[in-house]
Structure 1
Amino acid sequence: MRPPMPPGGPRRPGPGGPVPPGGHLGAGGPGGPRRPGGPGGPGPDRRPGEEPTDMLPALTPPPPPKREPDLLTHREADEEIDAFYEGDEDDYDDELTDDEERALRRKKIWRRVRRVSYVALGLMILSPVVAFAIAYQVIDVPNPEDVAAKQGKAITLLYSDGSPMTTIADSGSNRSMITYEELPEVVKNAVFAAEDPTFMTNPGFDFTAIARAVWYQVKGGDSGGSGLTQQYVKKATEDESATLTRKFNEMVRAYKMSKQQKKEDILAAYLNTIYFGRSAYGVKTAAKMYFNKDLKDVSQAEAALLAGMIQNPGRSEETEYVKERWEYVRGQLVKNGMIDQATADSMAQPPMAPLEEVTENALTGPRAFIQQQVFYEMAREPIGMTQEDAGRKGVVIHTTIDKKMQQAAEDSVNEVMKGEPEELKTSLTGIDPKSGAVLAYYGGSDGMGLDYATGTIQEAGSSFKPFDLVAALEDGFGLGSPFDGVSPKSFPGMDTKIRNASDPQNKCGPECPLREAMKLSLNTVFYDLVFNHTGAEAVAEAAWAAGIPKQVSVGGQKIDTLLGEGGAKPNTGIALGGDVARVRPFDMASAYATFAARGVHHEPFFVSKITDSSGETILHQHIDQKRDAFDTTNSQLNRDIADNVTEALKPIPLHSKIACAGNRECAGKTGTHELPDDASQNSKAWMVGYTKSLSTSVWMGRNEGNVALKNAAGQPIFGGGLPGQIWKKFMDKALDGTPKETFDKAKPLGQYNDPVKTTSAKPSTPSSAPPSSTSRSREEDDDKSTPPSPSRSNGNSSSTPNTGITCLPGLCPNPDPRPTGGPNPDPAIGGGRNDGGG
């Protein structure tokens, strides 16, 4: 009869043969000693009656089996064991192989990983739910009446001496709260289209909009993901921090508000408290501030404009931005089926009411641009305070504007431009070279249109030549270095010749020193200097170092200054202020201030301090942002470069018959830019100059861009003409009664003294002689007398078309889109016109 199978299945034969029934391997184990000669060595003989006796189980537990599956069998559920093991149990030995042990360990590890993952997933699902539920109970919903009561506090602007400039208050203060029924249908539709098309059906937030916003931000764009309810909560709580906690609390409040209140009441609360710009809180006040109308009389086109301003109300006076947002909302109205395409096509952008007609005590005329610049600066870092924020706090803003100088700027423009054609536009900026403070600012006459100081960018003409001189000084030349001043002059690769407008008799001759060439504004010299020696890129670098920003925002567009289209390098046209030498008038005042400050550039600013309404708590204090401009490693050389530029510019105001009154020492440079097709006419005219305490830029042009500038007598306007007269009047008025400061004596760099002329004027070779090695201010590694290498921009690179004023689209009705053509697009190269010193 077959003996019963031992627990765990049949055993395989091992050393010593099969295991006897009831027996165990190993000596001394249960079942008695082994027989003599068997495995385990000799043992005592059994008596005949003792075999085959079954032994009773030991009273003490046997040692744990070696086999791990047996252990699992005793402490795991059957179904887990089935899932754990694969194959027939008979395949396992008492001792597992190494591969079996590794497989076993892997299965145990993955089982633990699965369990941890299940727990983590559960926590991920449950934790937000629990947190949301807890937050729902403890977070309150803001009350619209309480929110409105906190809004619209007065904002006070002060002049630099602390005297009041203006007080800006919400014209809707003590406003009555409108109800949902009082909201015109056109307003509701416009707001839904602009901000939250699913408002009436979503739970307080829109997951699709949030996901879309995240996607835009991942791609580097900017998009808000908040619906109307969330926007209301954010403004009501005054918490706009970019944190997950704020966003989570905002979503909970929005959801709770949607559960507790009707959608109609939420919309009314939102439109009663949201900021629209123009110091208007609430849509009822906004209708009055934008169109001088009652809300009930607002048209669909006007409602679209109001709704468009919700996203960025601080830009309410930017013409192009307002147009862009209006067109967007109009498109959204069609997309969401609120109006048809025919209706949209028939809509025209509505005009906004002038600020002076609707705002109490706000700045008007030219000073409205000051107010605008102050709020722009406040919104940027490091201040980061919008006009809406300022209105909630009721702040006091200490500006840098000098009351006397501001009046002098306005009076000077009005006196010089009296009787002149209205189409002539001008700007004036006065900056303190010692700090960067903007002392006077005139962006235009009406304060409502284009700001010509910061809202335009155009060719600087010969007023850009001081940056050529900086590049030359850095390259080892000096004010006495000789260059060919004879006109006309040919250059390799050019079909046209360079001509000078001044010095028609070529008196300066073929060995014209740089200082004399600057005074006479000789095109041949400065083109030769850049073409054959410094290169165009060095001139651009000098201008950037002086204070011309590398990128500016004009008409809502980011523009890289002094670079060609697509970031192309400048060509030699920059030497004469053409090609890519397009700058804002405001920045020219800042850059020339660096010369006046002996090479130290101070970042310009309008806001010196911001306090609370009591004046006791300082919310912002300006910190001077200064740097050495031309040499960051050698402060003495940096000063010397600036002083040498000033030395070259000192004779020009007198030469142009616009010298400062009372023999006050001042320096500057005139400039003009010609029409592309008529070298006898100018399209822009400049005068930029300074004393040690005031740097001033005056620009003149027309909205059309490349259109001839003519005065009332029909004569062309040059830099020393109307712009120069405005500059002189302003400098004399602004500095009247102040000490007459003198410039520091320049330390000679390079060849400082004028060369001894030994020959009469005659045409010369295209290249000028380089400075000797002993006259250089710094060690040079290459010989600048050789022709420019292919890597240097020498007039053959591409450039952007010269279209005149770069301004807000729509305000330049007839720009000339024609490219200037040829290797050098600057018209002064072919036509020979420049400011001629005035």
Structure 2
Amino acid sequence: MGRADERRARQRGGRRAAAGGSSGTKPRRSGIRRILNWKTILGTFLGFCLLGMGAFLVLYMVVSIPQGNAAAQQQSNIYKYTDGSTLARTGKVNREIVGLDKVPKPVQLTFVAAENKSFYKDSGVDLRGTARGLLNTLSGKGKQGGSTITQQYVKNYYLTQDQTVTRKLKELVIALKVDRQQTKDDVLAGYINTSYYGRNSYGIQAAAQAYYGKDASDLTVEQGAYLASLLQAPSQYDWGVATDTGKRLVTARWNYTLDNMVEEGWLDAAKRQAMKFPVPQDPKGVPGMQGQTGYLVDAANSALANRLVAQGSAANYEDAKAIVDAGGWTITLNIDKKKQTQLEVAVKTKLSRKLDGKKRRVDGDVEAGAASVDPKTGKVVAMYGGEDYFKHYVNNATRQDYQPASTFKPLIFAAALEQQAKTQDGQDITANTMYDGTSGRAVKGSTIGFAPPNEDDQSYGPVTVQTAMNKSINSVFAQMGVDVGMDKVLKVAGDLGMHTEKLQPVPAQTLGSMGASPLEMAGAYATLDNHGRKVTPAVVASAEHKDRTVTFPNPVGDQVISSEAADTVTSVLTGVVNDGTAQVSVAQASDRDGQQVAGKTGTSDNNKSAWFTGYTPNLVTSVGLFGEVPKDRKDANGKAVKQGTQVSLRGAAGGGRVNGGGFPAQIWAAYTFNAMGRVTAFDLNTTQGAAMEPTPSDTPSQTPSETPSETPTTEKPTTRPPTTSSPPTKTSEPPVPPTTTAPVSPSGTPTDENPTGPFDPNNQQQQ
């Protein structure tokens, strides 16, 4: 082979090597790398952008500005009792349109400062905020702001409060068109005249009257800033009914609004510094809402609004409330008309008629609340919110700012049984377990020191859990809470229906130092009554609208504690009625007719609240009395006391300390024994507690959980509760309670002692 042939052969070999991917050459792309590269990614992105722009242009051309429908949508809401009879009808719109020239310019600017500082400069939309809202809607996260004044006006006047992607896209398009066709003043006027301010007030004129008793033209900058701040959360920020948190938040919002005005040059800084928060006047009831009606309607509206949020029909509670208030709803409540009347009569005869605010100032401080639940269905069959919706706007049945006190103790015992907890010396905690009932005894096994006194600082020595429940001995349940573990106690309490999510697991919670409502306590006890199956009290049975039907979940849920644990608590609580702190008012009630009853009394620190939560197999009712200052005043030392301040009930109706075994238990008995229909007996899956016949195996251990300070007593209870096989037999002669006067409870000590007077259990000084 010549040199030329060799050169040609090498060249051919080199080309084959290159084709085969020999070393030093770039390999050929294969698979997904041949498809995905920066050119295809960029092209795809641009394609989507063009597609989105095209779709938006089509949407812009298709969607037109509709006729304003906000006023037309305002219809009546009809509220019905469970039997179909009408409870109330609402819907007369409280709105008066006023021209922008009737609203002072500085007041106009408060709304711009609060909601949309760039209002006079923007094109009517906030694209970033709208995009965020769309993503939140798609992901189910709800609303996170971003709407301009123009967009909110469009939502109020042209569209609805519904939380859907379609509505948000329409809102965006219509807002762009409105901004082009209307002046900024027209948009602002529309916004402040269509917005909902709470208190059944639509528009600034109605709001000015509702909150300050004046026309919009007479509003000050401070008042305007409050109304503008209110729009973010009317229900939460209404000063007349707001919680401390709500008041703090609206005050911060008010400051934010005024500071924005200074920043924009709309308000002089020196004038701003001199401004004080303008506390609005108290709410006034809507015609037809007097008595208990307003409380029931508000509770129904709240339940429906919460359900709309849960279903995703509204972004948040405020939007849902606007949907409800827009009208057109037929709402059927679970309230039983007959039982509702019976509960109102019981409060009137056992409490209201005995109070005289002209004679005793403390009588004017007494507020009553109650909720009654069917444990088998979860229906709220009756509710007492206060003397009159027009006189006291806050619903005492649902408020959560008073301590439930010793009505929490059964939940501690329930946790002990459910967790199969043991005492510090290794004994199982049962109804017969011995504990040291010495007053002020420091709990053992806790890193947090706690040594609660008993009522009247009385010591009991070693006692069974049954006796401790009957006498409501604080030292026993403080130790039991530590034995179980307070984190576990709060978990079980939460499972039963209490709101314990934010509570700290500290021993002091064993005294019921958290806030709770009668409705909440009725729900927890209903779960016990229902053998451990969760009962979530339901005010509303159904809600229908011309556009939709809202379904509600079954109020009775899954088993949250064992039936044996729940039934053991019930058995023990029959002892509280027959031999404990509720004996005089409930066990000896003339119309008891042998009815078996379980329940627990409670009296909080400084006698600011008094409770009785009790139940029969078919009805659970929680009654609370709360000491509350009805209006601003000065105390005996001349110190200012603000409206709503929690105060002592001591001395009400001319008596001494107001115990849970007094007025609350009397109201409970008068209502329940009249409303229950027939005498029934508990069907309990347990061998423990006062409702069970004693057996040889029931003999309590003689070794207390902690070393006792006194010798245990051997005295037996004065009455023997019946077995579960039949209702108790009514005796012809009721047991005579002791006649000795109880010592006064030290300040700050929860009290639950059985009232001593045979004639008036509420008067500690009567013999």
Q: TM-score range by the shorter chain?
A: 0.7 to 0.9
Deviation at 1:96, TM superposition (A): 8.9
**Which structure 2 residues correspond to residues 82-481 of structure 1 after superposition, within 5 A?**
98-99=22-23, 101-102=25-26, 113-143=37-67, 146-172=68-94, 177-207=97-127, 223-238=144-159, 240=161, 242=163, 244-315=165-236, 316=238, 318-320=241-243, 321=246, 324-325=249-250, 327-337=252-262, 338-344=266-272, 345-352=274-281, 354-356=283-285, 359-361=286-288, 363-381=289-307, 382=310, 386-415=320-349, 416-417=351-352, 418-419=355-356, 421-445=363-387, 447=389, 448-474=392-418, 475=420, 481=432
Structure 1, 442-451 or 367-376: larger mean CA deviation? 442-451
Query: Deviation digits for residues 745-802 of structure 1, max 9, x if unmatched?
Result: 554159973779999999995289xxxxxxxxxxxxxxxxxxxxxxxxxxxxxxxxxx
CA contact (8 A) 2:470 2:573 kept: no
CA distance in 2 between counterparts of 1:766 and 1:489 reads 14
The one of 653, 666, 671 aligned to 1:725: 666
- Displacement of 1:605 after TM fit? 1.4
Give 3-state SS (helix, strand or coil) of 1:608's partner: strand
- Aligned to 1:583, the other structure's residue is in SS state coil
Aligned counterpart for 2:683 among listed residues 740, 744, 749: 744
Q: Is the 8 A contact 1:190 1:329 kept in 2?
A: no
The answer for the alignment partner of 2:722 in structure 1 is none
How far has the Cα of 1:318 moved from its partner?
Answer: 3.9
Q: In structure 1, the residue corresponding to 2:378 is in which secondary structure?
A: coil
- Deviation track 1:681-729 (CA, whole Å, cap 9, x = no partner) reads x343221111223212122333444757332436222221233233333
Task: Kindly provide the amino acid, as one letter, of the partner of residue 584 in structure 1.
Answer: S
Contact map agreement 1:502 1:837 (CA 8 A) in 2: no
**Cα distance in 1 between the residues matched to 2:86 and 2:383:** 17
How far apart are residue 481 of structure 1 and its match? 1.7
Q: Structure 1 residues 537, 273: closer, same or farther in 2, change over 3 A? A: closer
Unaligned 5+ segments in structure 1 are 1-12, 20-24, 27-38, 41-64, 69-92, 552-559, 676-681, 769-826
For normalisation by structure 2, the TM-score amounts to 0.74
Instruction: Determine if the alignment matches structure 1 residue 547 to structure 2 residue 497.
Output: yes
- How far apart in 2 are the matches of 1:351 and 1:413? 31
Deviation of the 1:470 alpha carbon: 2.2
Deviation at 1:604, TM superposition (A): 0.7
State the 1:226 CA deviation. 0.8
Is the 2:402–2:626 contact (alpha carbons within 8 Å) kept by the matching residues of 1? Answer: no
Equivalent residue of 1:695, what SS?
Answer: strand
Tell me which residue corresponds to 1:89: none
Distance apart, 1:603 and its partner CA:
0.9
| Aligned-partner residue type, residue 751 of structure 2 | N
Cα 1:431–1:15 change in 2 (3 A) is farther
TM-fit CA distance, 1:272: 3.5
Q: CA deviation at 1:641?
A: 3.5
Tell me which residue corresponds to 2:720. none
- What's the offset of the Cα at 1:101? 4.1
Counterpart of 1:658 in 2: which secondary structure?
helix
Shift, 1:100, TM fit = 5.3
Which amino acid in 1 is paired with 2:671? F
Question: 1:264/1:592 Cα in 2 relative to 1: closer, same or farther (>3 Å)?
Answer: same
Quick check: 1:308–1:328 contact (8 Å CA) kept in 2? yes
SS in 2 for 1:205: coil
Matching of residues 595-614 of structure 1 within 5 Å: 595-612=528-545
Cα distance, 1:237 vs structure 2 = 4.6
Residue 160 of structure 1 deviates from its aligned partner by: 2.2
Partner letter of residue 365 of structure 2? E
SS of corresponding position for 2:173: helix
Q: Which letter does structure 1 place at the counterpart of 2:337?
A: K
CA distance in 2, matches of 1:112, 1:461: 67
Q: 1:594 aligns with which of 522, 527, 531?
A: 527
Q: Distance in 1 between matches of 2:85 and 2:214?
A: 34
Match of 1:36? none
1:497–1:830: 8 Å Cα contact kept in structure 2? no
Aligned-partner residue type, residue 405 of structure 2: G
Structure 1 partner of 2:751 = 834
Q: What percent identity do the matched residue pairs reach? A: 26
Q: Which one-letter code corresponds to 1:343 in the other structure? A: K
Residue matched to 2:470: 519
Output aligned runs, 1:524-535, within 5 Å: 524-527=475-478, 529-531=480-482, 534-535=484-485
Judging changes above 3 Å, is the alpha-carbon distance between structure 1 residues 214 and 622 closer, same or farther for their aligned structure 2 residues?
A: closer
SS in 2 for 1:657: helix
Q: CA 1:66–1:284 in structure 2 vs 1: closer, same or farther (change >3 Å)?
A: farther
| CA 1:325–1:706: 2 relative to 1, 3 Å | closer
State the alpha-carbon separation in 1 of the partners of residues 277 and 267 from structure 2: 14
- Conserved 8 A contact 1:462-1:672: yes
Structure 1 residue 192 displacement after superposition: 0.9
The answer to whether the 8 A contact 1:700-1:723 is kept is yes
Q: Distance in 1 between matches of 2:571 and 2:673?
A: 25
- CA pair 96-742 structure 1, distance change in 2 beyond 3 A: closer
Following superposition, the deviation at residue 243 of structure 1 comes to 5.3
Where does structure 2 lack aligned partners over 5 or more consecutive residues? 315-319, 357-361, 422-427, 629-644, 710-743, 756-767
The question of 1:16 aligning with 2:30 is answered no
**2:625 equivalent among 671, 693, 700:** 700
Query: Per-residue deviation at 1:114?
Result: 4.3
- Deviations, residues 410-455 of structure 1 (Å, cap 9, x unaligned): 4433441422522233322222222222222233345455444433
Shift of 1:271: 3.2
Q: What secondary structure, in the 3-state scheme, does the structure 1 residue paired with 2:411 have?
A: helix
Distance, in Å, in 1 between the alignment partners of 2:705 and 2:532 is 35
Asked if residue 620 in structure 1 is aligned to residue 550 in structure 2, the reply is: yes
2: CA distance, partners of 1:620 / 1:763: 55
Total equivalences in the alignment: 659
C-alpha change, 1:630 and 1:767, in structure 2 (3 Å) is farther
Check conservation: 2:536, 2:556, Cα contact below 8 A: yes
> Against the structure 1 CA distance between its residues 242 and 746, is the aligned structure 2 distance closer, same or farther, given a 3 Å change threshold?
closer
Q: Distance in 1 between matches of 2:251 and 2:451?
A: 50
Deviation, structure 1 residue 164: 1.9
State the alpha-carbon separation in 2 of the partners of residues 165 and 301 from structure 1: 39
Q: Is the 8 A contact 1:498 1:830 kept in 2?
A: no
8 A contact 2:522–2:621 mirrored in 1: yes
SS of residue in 2 equivalent to 1:739? coil
- Say which SS state the counterpart of residue 325 (structure 1) adopts: helix
Deviation at 1:16, TM superposition (A): 1.8
Superimposed CA distance per residue, residues 333-378 of structure 1 (whole angstroms, 9 cap, x where no aligned partner): 332332234434324324245332xx333x2355433322222211
**Which one-letter code corresponds to 2:532 in the other structure?**
G
Q: Give the deviation of 1:128 after TM superposition.
A: 3.5
Q: Distance in 1 between matches of 2:228 and 2:55?
A: 35
CA displacement at 1:587 relative to structure 2: 1.3
What is aligned with 2:610?
685
Aligned mates of 1:152, 1:301 — CA distance in 2: 30
Distance 1:340 1:670, change over 3 A: same
Letter in 2 for 1:203: S
